[in-house]
Amino acid sequence: MPPLPFALFAALSLAGLALVRSLLRHRQEAALAREAADAASRREALRQHETKLAHALRINSMGEMASGIAHELTQPLTALLSQSQAGRRIAAANGLADSPIDTVLAANVQQAKRAADILVRLRAYVGRSAAEAGVHDLARHVADIVALSRIDLDRRGIALAVDLPGAPAPARVDPVEIEQVIHNLIRNAADAVEQAGRANGRVAVALAPEGAGHAITVRDNGAGIPPEILPRLFEPFFSSKPDGMGLGLSLCESIVERFDGSISAENGAEGGAVFTVRLPGARDMREREEATE
């Protein structure tokens, strides 16, 4: 072969080889990058799974402990309550109705009732199974619990606004438990407003469709949530209130999660806290009607 075409042929072959090598390297690099991305997303999925497991474990062990405590304390507490009530009756029968001893016994009765109420909440914390759930209209149950809470908020001089959709909002829930969640959120909101000493205290509850589900928001014009406690709000027994149990929000979370929903907290743009409960929507209206009849 004459030298010029040979040199051309050799140069073209070399260029071709270089091109093929570079293509192969690019392919290899792309495959490696894909693998790394897959591994990262697998690690992230594992981390999320572990977080969920740790959370479930925490909820379960807290639940078991709560159930044990509630069981052990119920009997002595009932005895304390009935003995104190009997003491008051004996005092009254002996003309000591408003005496200091009656005042002491009345305080005992009041505190024993408070402790019993705490036990009820502890028991509720253990939770029931989602098997009791049916498809219910969230709008109706939010309206019901808002009407109930209004009595307490009126007494405390706090305005309670409600914004509900015109159409039914079907979701698979236990309505009593969902009412308990909204009630807890409204009560916390009212506490926050009171603590902030607002003259124009206001709590607003809204229910609106969100994607295929529903979002219930409870917002207040209290002082908001300090950033350092924001990550701890849903921990069992976390409370910033002097007489707080710290079970309200963790109970709300375990209830909502049992119905495949979620609950989150943030500070509103205009101050105050905003709690959002998200629940998946249910499609079968017939089932809803049967369940709510």
Closer to ligand ADP at the Cβ: 130 or 245?
245
By CB under 6 A, name the one of 233, 263, 282, 291 that touches ligand ADP.
Answer: 233
By CB under 6 A, name the one of 90, 241, 266, 283 that touches ligand ADP.
Answer: 241
In 3D space, the residue among 272, 142, 282 whose CA is nearest the CA of residue 205 turns out to be: 142
Q: How many CA atoms lie within 13 A of 12 on its CB side?
A: 6
By CB under 6 A, name the one of 192, 207, 216, 279 that touches ligand ADP.
Answer: 192
Please state, in angstroms and rounded to a whole number, the distance separating the CA atoms of residues 174 and 135.
8
Please state, in angstroms and rounded to a whole number, the distance separating the CA atoms of residues 291 and 293.
6
Q: How far is CA 202 from CA 160, 161, 220, in A?
A: 6, 8, 6
Establish if 246 lies at the interface with ligand ADP (CB under 6 A).
yes
Q: Minimum CB separation from ligand ADP for residue 157, in Å?
A: 17
Please state, in angstroms and rounded to a whole number, the distance separating the CA atoms of residues 13 and 22.
14
User: Which residues, in sequence order, are bridge partners of residue 164?
Assistant: none
Establish if 245 lies at the interface with ligand ADP (CB under 6 A).
yes
Closer to ligand ADP at the Cβ: 9 or 237?
237
Establish if 225 lies at the interface with ligand ADP (CB under 6 A).
yes
Closer to ligand ADP at the Cβ: 170 or 201?
201
Q: 159 to 188, contacts with ligand ADP by CB under 6 A? A: 184, 188
Name the H helices within the chain.
3-93, 100-126, 138-155, 175-195, 248-258, 285-292
Interface residues with ligand ADP (CB under 6 A)?
Answer: 184, 188-189, 192, 220, 222, 225, 229, 233, 238-241, 244-250, 273
